[in-house]
C-alpha cells in the first residue's frame, strides 16, 4: 500500500499558510457574491485561497488532479477518477466568514482510486487543526481523537445544518427532520455553519452524530475520514454505504446511533456531485 504521508504533511503546511490569509481577511469588509441561492455565498478570499492551494500543490505534484469548490462553481468539470486527487473547500462556512461568526474552516481531502487517503480540516479562528490518515488514526493539534461511543440516540447531541437549498421542499424536509429528532427525543440539535467542523465535533466526542442532505463532496470528504479514523461510523442518510458524491451523510459515534438517525430523517432529491450541473438540487 502506498504511503501518502509526504502529501499529508505538505497539505498540512499549505493549510497553515492559507489560514493566515483567512484570518487577515476575517475582520475586513467582504465583497460578497451569490452562487446558487441567497445562502450560497462566495468572496474574493474563497477564490484567492483556492487558487493559492491548487497552485502550491500543482508545483509539488504536477500529475495530481483537483476538485475545488470555486473551480467547479466557475464551470470546471467535477470528476473523481482513480488518479491522486485533492478535494478542496477553501472556506467552509462562507456565510460565517462574511458575518464574522467564528467557525470557518479550510478543508482538504486526498483520494486515490476514489478512496480517501487523508483529510485535513483547519478551523481557522479556533486554531484547531484536525487531520487523519487511513489506518493511522485521527488527531487534533497532534493529540489523538476518539468518538464518544454513545449508542443510545436519546442521549445524543446531534449536529446538522439548514444548508443553502431554500426551495419549499428542501426547507420543509430539513425542518421536519429536526422536528422528528427532537420528538425522539435527543438531548439537543446544534448547527455551527460549517459541515467540516460539524463532523469534526463527532470525531472529538463533543457531538454524537451529524447528518445533512445537500452539501457537496468538498464539504465532507476530509471530515468523513477524520470521523472514521476516530472510531466513528459514516453512512448515507438511508443507512447504506457512504458515497461522498451523493450529497447525503450521517456521521455517528456508533452504528446504533447512525441507524436510529437513518430511520428518522428523510432526504429531498439532490443531483449527485458527479452529475452535471454539479451544484443544483432537482
Residues that are catalytic? 69, 89, 91-92, 94, 219
Cell for 247? 450529497
* Helices 195-204 and 217-229: angle between axes, nearest 10 degrees: 10
Q: Which residues contact 70 (CB under 8 A, 6 or more apart)?
A: 42, 46, 47, 50, 90
| DSSP conformational letter for 76 | -
Phi-psi group of 48: left, alpha or beta (phi > 0 → left; psi -120 to 50 → alpha; rest → beta): alpha
Residue that has been written with the C-alpha cell 419549499 in this structure: 168
CA distance 248 to 4: 27
Sign of the dihedral defined by the CA atoms of residues 45, 130, 189, 162, in that order: positive
Amino acid at each position: 500500500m502506498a504511503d501518502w504521508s509526504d502529501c499529508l504533511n505538505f497539505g498540512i503546511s499549505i493549510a497553515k499558510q492559507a489560514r493566515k490569509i483567512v484570518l487577515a481577511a476575517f475582520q475586513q469588509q467582504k465583497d460578497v457574491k451569490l452562487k446558487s441561492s441567497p445562502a450560497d455565498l462566495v468572496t474574493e478570499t474563497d477564490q484567492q485561497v483556492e487558487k493559492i492551494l491548487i497552485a502550491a500543490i500543482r508545483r509539488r505534484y504536477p500529475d495530481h488532479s483537483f476538485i475545488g469548490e470555486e473551480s467547479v462553481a466557475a464551470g470546471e468539470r467535477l470528476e473523481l477518477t482513480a488518479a491522486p486527487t485533492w478535494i478542496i473547500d477553501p472556506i467552509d462556512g462562507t456565510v460565517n466568514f462574511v458575518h464574522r461568526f467564528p467557525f470557518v474552516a479550510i478543508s482538504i481531502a486526498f483520494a486515490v482510486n476514489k478512496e480517501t487517503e487523508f483529510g485535513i480540516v483547519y478551523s481557522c479562528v479556533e486554531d484547531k487543526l484536525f487531520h487523519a490518515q487511513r489506518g493511522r488514526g485521527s488527531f487534533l493539534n497532534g493529540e489523538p481523537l476518539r468518538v464518544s461511543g454513545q449508542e443510545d440516540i436519546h442521549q445524543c447531541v446531534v449536529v446538522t445544518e439548514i444548508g443553502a437549498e431554500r426551495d419549499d421542499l428542501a426547507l420543509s424536509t430539513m425542518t421536519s427532520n429536526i422536528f422528528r429528532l427532537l420528538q425522539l427525543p435527543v438531548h439537543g440539535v446544534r448547527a455551527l455553519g460549517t459541515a467540516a467542523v460539524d463532523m469534526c465535533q463527532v470525531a472529538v466526542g463533543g457531538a454524537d452524530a451529524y447528518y445533512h442532505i445537500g452539501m457537496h463532496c468538498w464539504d465532507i470528504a476530509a471530515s468523513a475520514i477524520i470521523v472514521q479514523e476516530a472510531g466513528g461510523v459514516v453512512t448515507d442518510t438511508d443507512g447504506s454505504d457512504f458515497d461522498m458524491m451523493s450529497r447525503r451523510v450521517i456521521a455517528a459515534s456508533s452504528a446504533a446511533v447512525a441507524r436510529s438517525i437513518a430511520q428518522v430523517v428523510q432526504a429531498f432529491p439532490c443531483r449527485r456531485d458527479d452529475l452535471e450541473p454539479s451544484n443544483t438540487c432537482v
